[in-house]
């Protein structure tokens, strides 16, 4: 293991605190992230792409470098089509609301997050037709079940690459091939898989790739967006907002070209500088090294939890088929009670409840109570997992 975190004292993670909420947001961040953000504030400062002076151009170079890094990470070839926004939810909303029209049919899965389901339900009320393909109780989907739902007016298939509830990895490559075969558009929510699993936008036939910066890319919150593939023109998507772009200022009409058409207003330059440093760190460490580390800890956690009486472990009990997110319940104890006790008595921070994913919880049979979720990250350690297993064993032993 050569994860670069043992030899720095940069972050202020208090001794004894066990952070297992990396599925919500990764923490701590690699040391270079905060440094890059501070450097932007102190040394760069200017508005990227708005002026022609040296600091504005320096700021614009940071943002442009990030477009290239994001492209490279996701196997894509056009930095102009990387659209930055607030986060992945922002990117998904832009794509769904901007692209779909009444009469269009959309296919999605039973494992989606509300980042996808809420815009889709909103669009359903305007005449967009939605089909949700059921998944197994482990959160698995059969690509042929997706194909069966294709109709004449089907325009888009939207799939969550990995569940934020129980980590199940969905087969995007196979579903991507189906969308290409039927000449449909394919959108992937990579909130839980970006930076964890290999994703190749061109080889996986992805037309719209939503990404967030603050989870497994290890960047700051307030960063993310969507990459728009070559089969979609800028005119195919209506911008969510219009305004200044630093280009074509003589016109009062929104530019038609990428990325400006979709990026009105001053961007989060500080956050994007942090994300650039984060992706550099990630690439330097190697995705496969981090994945191996997380898989090792996930296997250890599964093995530990499965041997505790009274634990219902959700999702596939196999680290190979999961990202490092484990959902489970202690029989006889509400998840909210468990979450509070884990925090107060064991200093273990996790997320309990429905995780903004009612559809996924219905699929795996934990709606409306939800579950306890442990999210392992690159900076999690074996000792954290051992302590977490001991804490759950203790709580489970107290239930009558």
Closer Cβ to another protein, 98 or 244, answer by number: 244
Beta strands at 129-133 and 105-109: parallel, antiparallel or unpaired: parallel
Phi, psi of 125 (to 5 degrees): -65, -20
Q: What's the min distance (Å) between Cβ of 39 and another protein?
A: 19
Secondary structure tally for the chain: helices H, strands E: 11, 13
Tokens at residue 46, please?
A: 């200017």
Q: Which residues does 151 contact at the CB level (< 8 Å), separation at least 6?
A: 105
In the complex, which residues of this chain contact another protein (CB under 8 A)?
Answer: 48-53, 57, 60-61, 63-64, 67, 79-80, 245-250, 255, 257-260
Q: What's the min distance (Å) between Cβ of 90 and another protein?
A: 19
Angstrom distance (rounded) from CA 183 to CA 181: 6
Closer Cβ to another protein, 46 or 150, answer by number: 46
Q: What's the min distance (Å) between Cβ of 61 and another protein?
A: 6
Buried b (16+ CB within 10 A) or exposed e, 318-334: ebeebbbbbbbbbeebe
Q: What's the min distance (Å) between Cβ of 201 and another protein?
A: 18
Angstrom distance (rounded) from CA 135 to CA 310: 25
Q: What are the angstrom distances between the C-alpha of 153 and each of 40, 109, 128, 129, 150?
A: 47, 18, 10, 9, 8
What is the 3 state secondary structure string of 298-330? Answer: HHHHHHHHHCCCCEEECCCCCHHHECCEEEEEE
Beta strands at 371-375 and 351-353: parallel, antiparallel or unpaired: antiparallel
SS3 392: helix
Q: What's the min distance (Å) between Cβ of 241 and another protein?
A: 17
Task: Give strand pairing partners of 109.
Answer: 133
Closer Cβ to another protein, 73 or 322, answer by number: 73
SS3 227: strand
Q: What's the min distance (Å) between Cβ of 70 and another protein?
A: 13
Closer Cβ to another protein, 260 or 294, answer by number: 260
Cβ 329 vs Cβ 339: under 8 Å: no
Angstrom distance (rounded) from CA 355 to CA 361: 9
Q: What's the min distance (Å) between Cβ of 45 and another protein?
A: 17
Closer Cβ to another protein, 195 or 267, answer by number: 267
Angstrom distance (rounded) from CA 92 to CA 189: 8
Closer Cβ to another protein, 233 or 307, answer by number: 233
Closer Cβ to another protein, 62 or 349, answer by number: 62
Q: What's the min distance (Å) between Cβ of 65 and another protein?
A: 9
Closer Cβ to another protein, 5 or 50, answer by number: 50
Closer Cβ to another protein, 61 or 148, answer by number: 61
Angstrom distance (rounded) from CA 387 to CA 370: 23
Phi, psi of 227 (to 5 degrees): -105, 130
Q: What's the min distance (Å) between Cβ of 254 and another protein?
A: 13
């Amino acid at each position: 293991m050569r994860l670069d975190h043992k030899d720095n004292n940069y972050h202020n993670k208090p001794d004894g605190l066990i952070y297992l909420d990396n599925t919500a947001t990764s923490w701590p961040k690699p040391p270079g992230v905060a440094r890059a953000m501070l450097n932007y504030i102190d040394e760069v400062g200017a508005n990227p792409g708005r002026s022609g002076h040296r600091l504005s151009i320096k700021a614009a170079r940071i943002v442009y470098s990030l477009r290239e890094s994001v492209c490279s990470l996701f196997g894509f070839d056009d930095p102009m089509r990387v659209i930055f926004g607030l986060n992945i939810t922002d990117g998904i909303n832009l794509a769904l609301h901007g692209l779909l029209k009444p009469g269009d049919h959309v296919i999605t899965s039973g494992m989606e997050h509300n980042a996808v389901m809420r815009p889709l339900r909103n669009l359903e009320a305007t005449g967009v037709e939605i089909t949700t393909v059921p998944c197994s109780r482990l959160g698995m989907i059969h690509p042929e079940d997706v194909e069966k739902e294709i109709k004449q007016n089907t325009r888009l298939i939207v799939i969550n690459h990995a569940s934020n509830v129980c980590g199940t990895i969905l087969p995007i490559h196979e579903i991507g091939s189906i969308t290409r075969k039927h000449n449909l558009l394919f959108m992937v929510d990579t909130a839980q898989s970006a930076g964890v699993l290999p994703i190749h936008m061109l080889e996986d036939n992805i037309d719209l790739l939503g990404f967030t910066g603050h989870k497994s890319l290890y960047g700051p919150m307030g960063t993310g967006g969507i990459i728009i593939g070559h089969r979609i023109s800028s005119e195919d998507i209506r911008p969510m907002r219009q305004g200044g772009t630093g280009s074509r200022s003589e016109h009062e009409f929104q530019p038609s070209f990428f990325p400006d058409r979709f990026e009105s207003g001053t961007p989060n330059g500080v956050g994007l500088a942090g994300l650039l440093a984060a992706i550099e760190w990630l690439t330097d460490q190697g995705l496969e090294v981090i994945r191996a580390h997380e898989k090792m800890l996930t296997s250890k956690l599964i093995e530990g939890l499965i041997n505790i009486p009274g634990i219902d472990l959700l999702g596939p009990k196999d680290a190979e088929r999961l990202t490092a997110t484990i959902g489970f319940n202690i029989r006889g104890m509400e998840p909210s009670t468990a979450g509070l006790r884990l925090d107060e008595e064991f200093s273990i921070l996790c997320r309990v409840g429905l995780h903004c994913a009612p559809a996924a919880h219905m699929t795996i049979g934990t709606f409306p109570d939800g579950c306890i979720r442990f999210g392992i990250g690159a900076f999690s350690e074996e000792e954290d997992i051992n302590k977490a297993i001991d804490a759950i064993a203790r709580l489970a032993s107290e239930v009558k």
